[in-house]
Amino acid sequence: MQNQTFKPNPKKTLEIDVRGETYLRLPIKTDIITEKDNLMDLLEKYVAPHLLPDDNIFISEKVVALTQGQIINLNDVKTSRLAKLLAKKVKTNYGNKDFRGFGHGTPMAMELVIREAGYFRVLLAAAVSAVTRPLGIKGLFYVIAGTRAKSIDCPMSFLIQPYTHYAKLPPINPQRVSEEIKEKFGTETVIIDANYLGAFALGISSKKIKEKFTQEVFRDNPLGQSDELTPFCIVRKKA
């Protein structure tokens, strides 16, 4: 299928330069995906028909978690005092033009972070962050809390029902998922967590793809972060 059939998401581009090479990020539009769907079936239906030799498949970790049933109704999250305290420390810019989402700035989200990372690990992360952020050093909370805790979304969608009322937990064994996808489709695969702040990989099918490359090629999150319905992306080096 020709490149012209792919359209970038609003305010995004298909092409990006990575270390002097141009890559195409081809977003794959799907129907609404639910926890009842099977990931391999979805890839067979939506992605496989477009694949060319040497393509790479990038998959939103959100759809991996969703198809694994890794979601929880927000009404079922009982929050602790620590979660309420730490959530107040998260700057969300709610109410102004810089607002991009609550992130972990709600007691429910922070409670899930605590459950994932562990009570004492979160306390350590919070203490280190409190000392380093005034010095202009950001991001150490998640370095200590871990990438699985960082990948929690709450709510998992602002626009797609019923997921406006659900939080997304980390996907189960994303590294193995990426390897299984490569085994089935013969294509290097990355399970990616991306937003307006950048991207990081939760699973990479082999050492042929470097973590730094995934960050650079997805640095502007071409899949979007709302109702674009593009959980899959083919990354292809431009000839």
- pLDDT of 1 reads 42
pLDDT at residue 4, rounded to an integer: 44
| pLDDT value of position 185 | 97
Whether residue 126 is predicted with pLDDT greater than 50 in this model: the reply is yes
Looking at 133-221, list the stretches that DSSP marks H as alpha helix, in order from N- to C-terminal side. Answer: 140-145, 147-150, 174-185, 211-217
Q: 141, exposed or middle or buried, with CB in 10 Å at 0-12, 13-18, 19+? A: buried
| pLDDT higher than threshold 90 for residue 55 | yes
CATH code linked to domain 3-70+171-237: 3.30.1330.100
Average pLDDT over residues 80-84: 95
Q: Provide mean pLDDT across the span 43-60.
A: 97
- 160: pLDDT confidence band, cut at 50, 70 and 90? confident
Of 28 and 239, the structure prediction assigns the larger pLDDT to: 28
Mean pLDDT of 139-163: 89
Whether the predicted pLDDT of 3 surpasses 80: no
Whole-prediction pTM value?
Answer: 0.89
Residue 16 — φ and ψ, nearest 5°?
A: -150, 145
Over pLDDT 70: what percentage of the chain? 94
Q: Please determine, for residue 191, whether its predicted confidence score (pLDDT) is greater than 60.
A: yes
Residue 94: predicted pLDDT: 62
How high is the mean pLDDT of the chain? 91
Q: Taking the domains of the chain in order of start, what are their residue ranges? A: 3-70+171-237, 74-168
pLDDT of 95 reads 65
pLDDT recorded at residue 93: 62
Confidence label for 89 from pLDDT (cuts 50, 70 and 90) = confident
| Total residue length of the chain | 239
Confidence of residue 225 (pLDDT cuts 50, 70, 90): low
Reply yes or no on whether the pLDDT at 41 is more than 70: yes
**DSSP symbols for 104-153:** T-SHHHHHHHHHHH-HHHHHHHHHHHHHHGGGT---HHHHHH-HHHHT-B
